Structure 1
Amino acid sequence: MQPQTIHNETSLHAPPSEKRWKVWWNLLRPHTLTAAFVPVFIGTALALYETAIDWPLFLAMLIASLLIQAATNMINEYYDYKKGLDNEHSVGIGGAIVRHGVKPETVIRLAFIFFGIATLLGIYICINSTWWLAVIGTACMAAGYFYTGGPYPIAYTPFGEIVAGFFMGFVIILIAFYIQTGIITSQSMLISIPISILVGAILLANNIRDIDGDRENGRKTVAILVGRKNAILLLAAMFFVSYILIVLFIALDYAPFWALLVFLSIIKPLAAVKGFSSNKSNVTMMPAMVATAQTNTIFGFLLGIGLIIGYFI
């Protein structure tokens, strides 16, 4: 049954004036937006090795990616509400609809406005690069919508981690690199792989946390298919492979020695695996979920910094 919510466009549990901006801010799920920043940052850092950076193109790409990520979060919130999956006690959601009375129609309308602005930025990017990117950009937005929208949401299948990692890691890095350089290199493709894995890890961590509720609602995520214990082992393996790939790329001269900076983030994946292994409730697993997202953020940021240092030294 769909939860009943009073829709008055204001917070139900907070002073309406001073807290209202937080409702809209939380709707964006700001902690997830780094998953959009990191690929653009890395793709642009890689472009340094080929050309001078076009900063207006970089900003257009960054803002478009952030808007698509935020819109995807809103679509997720809208459809999870419509399907009766979210309530005011749900963990890890913006809560604008079920906690603060924002109309579902307002949320989905805002998501499409964000898509529209991203499209305008995409047109600017295409004018300054190639119109083939319009097809790729449309595919990225479609993936964001159909992740939880439509009759057969990707999030309900075992392919959520693969789709998210591919579009938010591999594709975004290559677009950010291509709009600066006009080419795609083996280096840019290889460097995108560990980031793609870590983006997928965020989704896997989310599915581990929600495994019981997802199973009750008929989802067939990887975490459900392999079981909680094996899903945690898979998460650990994804972390391990991401770090080992950096060492391999350095050995093969695809990445500078400074890329080893990523190992400064190693405490986060260790905390994530330990947190999921020792906790079983949604609330107590939240720190592990946060540590997984932070792994992608810190790993990606340090990798980008390492690439920049390697270029100048």
Structure 2
Amino acid sequence: MQSFTHMDHRPPARRDWRVFWRLTRPHTLTAAFVPVCVGTVLALGETSIDWLLFAAMMIASLLIQAATNMFNEYYDYQRGLDSPESVGIGGAIVRDGLKPKTVLALAFGCLGLAMLIGIYICAESSWWLAVVGTICMAAGYFYTGGPVPIAYTPFGELAAGFFMGFVIILISFFIQTGYISGGAVLTAIPIAILVGAILLANNIRDLDGDREKGRKTLAILIGRDWAIRLLAAMFAVAFLWTAALAVFQIVPFWALLALLSIPKAIAATRGFIGKIKPIEMMPAMKATAQTNTQFGFLLAAGLLIAHWL
């Protein structure tokens, strides 16, 4: 009955392309393309790159991330969590009037396309990736779908960092090289942390509303102040880990270019301090995603420079 009540209050549907673009929540797509870039550049130090495989992996990862966001949009609406005033959502249903079933169909359509691309990737590398890819897509669905959504538990950051950061980097590396190296595993860790930080920032912003709706995110369990401290600690660990990788020559010295993203991480952390309203925390949320983007691209650039030299 709840969904019918929402249906009655939806505005007239709009079909502008910008509606569908917002539905993908483009500010979160950094969590998809950064790991693919880093994993591929890491592979460049081991072998020549198959750019068609790189493109396929990039598109598949973006489709899975977009599908995850659409499932989020659909299931949060079905559970009565989204309203026209909600901050940080695509708003395709509550603001733009798209039918919930349309959003759900688009989500499954994105996963279907990702699966088709995945068949090509498996054919060119290993069919074991079909198992890994299926698990990643299932994680995207169960993030907000299913009886106990991951997003409603304290494990959202861990799941996001592991699947969209760590695993994607290693798959991107594996499809180029045919194996997984210890260096790739260790280098994937700071990216995984920063992807998890994006979700933590999102949960800090939505803390009050999530608590009212019965969610039990990590930010709710430890409180706003400790969640902000945890965010700062995650940034610090990611940077210190990268510095240690360079000191122990697991990555070249040029990888330290990633540390140039520290000011953005500081801005992201400070942006949450003393803020209560979600709209006030949007710049900090954006800065967190930008930290991941800057860190990832600077790390990739450093690895490329070291390769060319």
Q: TM-score, normalised by structure 2?
A: 0.97
Report deviation, 1:312: 1.2
| Contact 2:12 2:97 survives alignment (8 Å) | yes
1:8 positional shift:
4.5
- The answer as to 2:183 corresponding to 1:148 is no
Q: 2-side partners of 1:190 and 1:44: how far apart?
A: 15
Which residue of 2 is the match for residue 15 of structure 1? none
Specify which of 86, 93, 97 is matched with residue 90 of structure 1.
86
Tell me the amino acid that sits aligned with residue 223 of structure 2: G
Corresponding letter in the other structure for 1:29: R
Counterpart-to-counterpart distance in 2, 1:85 and 1:27: 16
Q: Name the counterpart of 1:165.
A: 161
Residue identity in the other structure for 1:240:
A
Q: 1:136 aligns with which of 122, 132, 135?
A: 132
Secondary structure (helix, strand or coil) at the match of 1:278 reads coil
Aligned partner of 1:247 in structure 2 is 243
Q: Secondary structure at the match of 1:45?
A: helix
CA deviation map 1:135-161 (0-9, x unaligned): 000000000000000110000101000
Return the alpha-carbon distance in structure 2 between the equivalents of residues 160 and 191 of structure 1.
22
Is 1:273 the counterpart of 2:269 in the alignment?
A: yes
Query: Percent identity at matched positions?
Result: 65
Contact 1:262/1:299 (8 A) holds in 2: yes
Distance 1:224 1:207 in 2: 8
Following the alignment from structure 2 to structure 1, what is the Cα–Cα distance between the partners of residues 24 and 89?
Answer: 10
Moved more, 29-38 or 67-76: 29-38
Secondary structure of 1:223 counterpart: helix
Q: What is the one-letter code of the residue matched to 1:135?
A: V
State the partner residue of 1:21.
17
2:13 aligned to 9, 13, 19, which one?
A: 9
* 8 Å Cα contact 2:191/2:238 also seen in 1: yes
Kept in 2: contact 1:33–1:69 (CA 8 A): yes
Q: What's the RMSD between the two structures over aligned residues?
A: 1.0
Match of 2:294 in 1: 298
SS at match of 2:278: coil
Consecutive unaligned residues in structure 2, runs of 5 or more = none
Does structure 1 retain, via aligned residues, the 8 Å contact 2:37–2:300? yes
Give the CA deviation at 1:7. 6.2
Distance 1:291 1:178 in 2: 31
Taking structure 1 as the reference length, the TM-score comes to: 0.96
Structure 1 residues 130-139 or 259-268, which shifts more? 259-268
- CA offsets 1:258-283 (integer angstroms, 9 cap, x no match): 11111221111111111111311100
Query: Quick one: which of 279, 292, 303 aligns to 1:307?
Result: 303
In the alignment, the residues of structure 1 paired with residue 136 and residue 11 of structure 2 have an alpha-carbon distance, to the nearest angstrom, of 31
Aligned residues: 305
CA contact (8 A) 2:11 2:95 kept: no
The aligned counterpart of 2:122 is: 126
Does residue 286 in structure 1 map to residue 282 in structure 2?
Answer: yes
What secondary structure does 1:284 align onto? helix
- The one-character-per-residue Cα deviations of 1:197-249 (angstroms, maximum 9, x if unpaired) are 00000010011111111111111111111111101000000000000011100
- Supply the AA of the counterpart residue of 1:280: I
Deviations 1:66-104 (A, max 9, x none): 000000000000001000000001000111000010000
For 2:9 and 2:91, how far apart are their aligned partners in 1? 11
- Does the Cα contact within 8 Å between 1:5 and 1:101 map onto a contact in 2? no
For residues 278 and 270 of structure 1, the distance between their equivalents in structure 2, rounded to whole angstroms, comes to: 15
The CA distance in 2 between the partners of 1:42 and 1:156, in whole Å, is: 30
Q: Which amino acid aligns with 2:116?
A: L
Paired residues of 1:5 and 1:97 also in contact (CA < 8 A): no
Assess if the C-alpha contact under 8 Å between 2:166 and 2:192 holds in 1: yes
Q: Which residues of structure 1 form unaligned runs of 5+? A: 12-19
In terms of fraction of residues, the more helix-rich structure is 2
Is the CA contact (8 Å cut-off) linking 1:46 and 1:177 kept in structure 2? Answer: yes
* Residue type of the alignment partner of 1:67: L
- Cα distance in structure 2, aligned partners of 1:269 and 1:5: 40
Asked if structure 2 preserves the Cα contact closer than 8 Å seen for 1:259 and 1:307, the reply is yes
